[in-house]
Chains A and B, each alone.
Chain A
Amino acid sequence: MSTTTQERYSKSDELERSRSRPRTIIGTLLTILAFILLGIALLPLFLVIIYVIIRGASRFDLNLFTEIPPAALQEGGGIASAIVGTIILVAIASVISIPIGVLAAVYLSEFSSGRIARWIRFATNVLSGVPSIIIGIFAYGVVVLSTGTFSAVAGGFALAILMLPVVVRTTDESLQIVPQEVRWASVGVGASDFHTVLLIVLPAALPAILTGTTLAVARAAGETAPLIFTALFTRYWPSGLFQPIPSLSVLVYNYAAVPYENQQELAWAASLILVLLILLTSIISRWATGKSTY
């Protein structure tokens, strides 16, 4: 009893697509299902954006960008001081974390040996997984307690620690995308490691590094937890690096749940600005990545 002669595929004679074939029906159903699930996955994103726009748009005017937040029961006002505060905080964080992060990544990608690099990469991943509130407590312990005051520097320090692993990882990844042959070419014309990294590898990876850094900045700008007990909050314009400083995210946290309608509206407006900020940076970074060399 030979099976080989009995074997037959259930091939039909037609080459045309048949709607009634089970394969076609299952394929169509699964495609529809996948599409619906995709819609469900994207729904929160659109709902958040739309809701924030609807609630925030009512106060989206010039006053928002020029006036400081009002006191309780006071009418009007804006969130100008919080915008400036967020910019200052992010600037401090960037000044600390970007040079350290980029140089650390250069070491990781270009100079370290496999074993050490594995451990540093692992440590970086652990750091990026640490909850931001814990980073806030750490900054509180290190900066606030030792300087004796809540301050912009303490907040910037906390955000810097938050940004650091993102900067290291994205820079590391973008440096590794640069083909080994290009480094060899540079070394082959008698370039030192210094010249190769500075003049060939870093410029080739720059668009990707900028993208990663921009996303890190955007993420830091939206963080609340590490700022609550480092930068604290004030209604007024930032008065110094060693003074408490307002920020958009803490403003949302403080004002969203108070019983005053004016403050609630400002919280929504601040949310809108944060969302727009993150959208904008994502778009810019997409655009920059599109221009990358490799």
Chain B
Amino acid sequence: MSALERNQEDRSDRQQQNTEQNSEAVLQTEDLTVYYGKFAALRGVFMKIFKNKITAFVGPSGCGKSTLLRCFNRLNDLIDGCRVEGKVIYRNKNLYSKKIDPVEVRRRIGMVFQKPNPFPKSIYENIAYGARINGYKGDLDELVERSLQQAALWDEVKDKLKDNGLSLSGGQQQRLCIARAVALKPDVVLMDEPCSSLDPVSTGKIEDLIHQLKQNYTIIIVTHNMQQAVRVSDLTAFFNAEEGEKGNRFGYLVEYDKTEKIFENPQEEATREYVGGRFG
């Protein structure tokens, strides 16, 4: 075990103590390492994600925060050459055990992507699709309406549910994608830089929405925007990237704590520099 890895373990012990809260952990990673091809993109992550909290992942590009996010719903399975070591514990089960069906995992852990990606179908079908393929037994119309209301989109689209989802504006498309995710009533919603392609007004709407969703969902949000992390999250994890022995960059978790603590009184020098805007 290298000095770096030992150091990381010490840190992760401290982080787990620091973030120990009354809330229960929904997801937990144990020594999670992700490889793309031969090289590790993310090394040795230990962390807990707490129920009904908003957790923000911040850090420079290439630090593995999106990679980690995709581990939580096994979306990395779709990337050629991606391999995961270590554990992701969800409901006392390791998501990377052979017995786990990734399709079932994704029904419980929803995702909103960086670029709005509605299906090339009607607004109604965008939401009904997930429900149908998951064998939803209730009233589809009602589900569509409720989901769109939760995503604060209902008033804008209620008269044009048959229009193609791609005809909406970028901000509306992203709220449609959020509605699509919450329609499945997931335990956790993963958001991968959900506002990075949106204007400030749409970003504000999405952030308000994230706050409201917190009551019912556990949310993890990857963001490049420090202010956004401060505005929306309860907990913040800072990741950094380092050169490996063979010149390949890999990311690791530097510090994970309450958001105020990370931004006002971080324990690590690297965190202080990053949130202070001195690099990245």
Contacts and interface: CB of A to CB of B under 8 A. Distances in A.
A189 B117 contact: no
Contacts, number: 70
A254 interface: no
Contact of A191 (B73, B75, B130): B130
Most chain A CB within 10 A, of B73, B110, B133, B184, is at B133
28 contacts: A179-B117, A181-B115, A182-B117, A183-B78, A184-B78, A184-B111, A184-B117, A185-B119, A185-B177, A185-B180, A186-B129, A187-B106, A188-B106, A188-B110, A188-B113, A189-B129, A189-B130, A189-B134, A190-B130, A190-B184, A191-B129, A191-B130, A191-B133, A192-B133, A195-B133, A199-B129, A200-B119, A204-B119
Interface of B: 73, 75, 78, 80, 103-104, 106-107, 110-111, 113, 115, 117-121, 129-130, 133-134, 166, 177, 180-181, 184
Contacts of A181: 113, 115, 117
Nearest to A194: B133
A294 B106 CA distance: 26
Given A181-B117, A195-B133, A187 B78 contact: yes
A251 B134 CA distance: 56
B120 A203 contact: yes
A192 B104 CA distance: 9
A4 interface: no
A12 interface: no
B80 A190 contact: no
Given A113-B80, A189-B130, A190-B130, 13 more contacts: A184-B113, A185-B117, A185-B180, A188-B73, A188-B106, A189-B129, A189-B184, A190-B104, A190-B107, A190-B184, A200-B119, A200-B120, A204-B120
Contacts of A199: 129, 133
Nearest to A179: B117
Interface of A: 113-114, 179, 181-192, 195, 199-200, 203-204, 293-294
A188 B111 CA distance: 6
A195 B134 CA distance: 10
A113 B81 CA distance: 10
A293 B121 CA distance: 10
A11 B113 CA distance: 52
Nearest to B114: A181
Contact of B180 (A114, A184, A189): A189
Given A179-B117, A199-B133, A204-B120, A191 B111 contact: no
A184 B134 contact: no
A189 B110 CA distance: 6
Contacts of A189: 106-107, 110, 129-130, 133-134, 180-181, 184
Contacts of A190: 103-104, 106-107, 130, 133-134, 184
